[in-house]
Amino acid sequence: MKIKCIGILTSGGDAPGMNAAIRAITRSAIYNGIRVKGIYRGYKGLMMGEIEEFHTESVSNIIQHGGTILKSARCQEFHTQEGRQKAYTTLRSEGIDALVVCGGDGTFTGARLFAQEFDFPIIGVPCTIDNDLSGTDFTIGYDTALNTIVDAVDKIKDTANSHERLFFIEVMGRDAGYLALNGAIATGAEAAIIPEIETGIDQLEAFISRGFRKSKNSSIVLVAESDITGGAIGVAERLKKEHPEYEARITILGHIQRGGSPTAADRILASRLGAAAIDALIDDQRNIMVGVVNDRVVYVPFNKAIKHEKKMDTSLLSVLKVVSN
């Protein structure tokens, strides 16, 4: 089937670079003679018909901005059959014959269900700061979030050194340790506590005392937000029970990690993957995510992209251990 009109939406947690992706998808579609409709507020807006025709100039001057001009939402109703039926009715009435969805795990889980139920072509563009999708080396937004973490931790290190303190710094990543682990390597932290690897209290104490011995003044530990790690507060409480001699300070970086102007790497990745999404549709690809592996664009079936399958590169832990020694 020749695609004549696509809809674009952004869904789930926003990620810096989403705007660059919207721009690339829009421009690439128009370049190939395909009409574009912007769908506001993710699947929720799709069900409600919050849709606008997009032109080349609709996406002017947005590449440098964080957030998403299309807004985003997490939508429970799309998890129901009725919700998805509503969405399908909107697509038919708008004359949209394919969707490009920008988001992460939850977005693609919904897309996969919808595509199967209605035999509707959907292409996913991986946008999440968590970098937790399988089948792509990087997701859009991850590099910017990592740089935000580096910037923040560098600042905390100044005060940690001055006061000779131990800091637990919690970073995002909902059950994925990429931001914590690579953030720790990039900032010269003593350790990363991540959900993928269990860290005992003795091990943690060893990291911290090594940090103090090494610099004689401070120690920094990055903790991935997760029920498994207990987050920075949980880790600090565990340590205090066994080692009351440590008085820790806690910083939760929070949503600052999701905002800001995307890095060059994220803008380029978003531009490549946005264009690749349209190439994929023209190539008759259906229900796949576009990704990048070894710097080449790849097509990954949704069920392979969805999380819990992405393997953490544990050699990075050894790197952290060696360089923080």
What is the binding site for ligand F6P (CB under 6 A)? 13, 104, 128-130, 172-174, 225, 258
**Strand ordering across the sheet containing 248-252:** 191-193, 219-224, 166-171, 248-252
Q: How many residues does the chain have?
A: 325
C-beta closer to ligand F6P: residue 97 or 105: 105
Whole-number minimum distance, CB 149 to ligand F6P, in Å?
A: 12
C-beta closer to ligand F6P: residue 37 or 258: 258
Alpha-carbon gap, residue 61 to 311, rounded angstroms: 37
Q: Quick one: three-class SS letters along 87-121?
A: HHHHHHHHCCCEEEEEECHHHHHHHHHHHHHHCCC
Whole-number minimum distance, CB 130 to ligand F6P, in Å?
A: 5
Among 32, 34, 30, 33, CA closest to 58:
30
C-beta closer to ligand F6P: residue 173 or 211: 173
Whole-number minimum distance, CB 241 to ligand F6P, in Å?
A: 26
Question: What is the β-pairing status of strands 288-293 and 296-301?
Answer: antiparallel
Whole-number minimum distance, CB 102 to ligand F6P, in Å?
A: 13
C-beta closer to ligand F6P: residue 11 or 324: 11
Alpha-carbon gap, residue 45 to 47, rounded angstroms: 5
C-beta closer to ligand F6P: residue 128 or 136: 128
- Evaluate whether 242 touches 205 at the Cβ level (below 8 Å): yes
Whole-number minimum distance, CB 256 to ligand F6P, in Å?
A: 11
Alpha-carbon gap, residue 321 to 221, rounded angstroms: 12
Please give the structure tokens belonging to residue 282.
């023209």
Element (H, E) at 288: strand 288-293
Please give the structure tokens belonging to residue 81.
């059959």
C-beta closer to ligand F6P: residue 135 or 211: 135
From 130, 132, 175, 266, the catalytic residue:
130
Among 75, 84, 87, CA closest to 49:
87
Whole-number minimum distance, CB 73 to ligand F6P, in Å?
A: 10
Is 151 annotated as catalytic?
no
Catalytic residues: 130
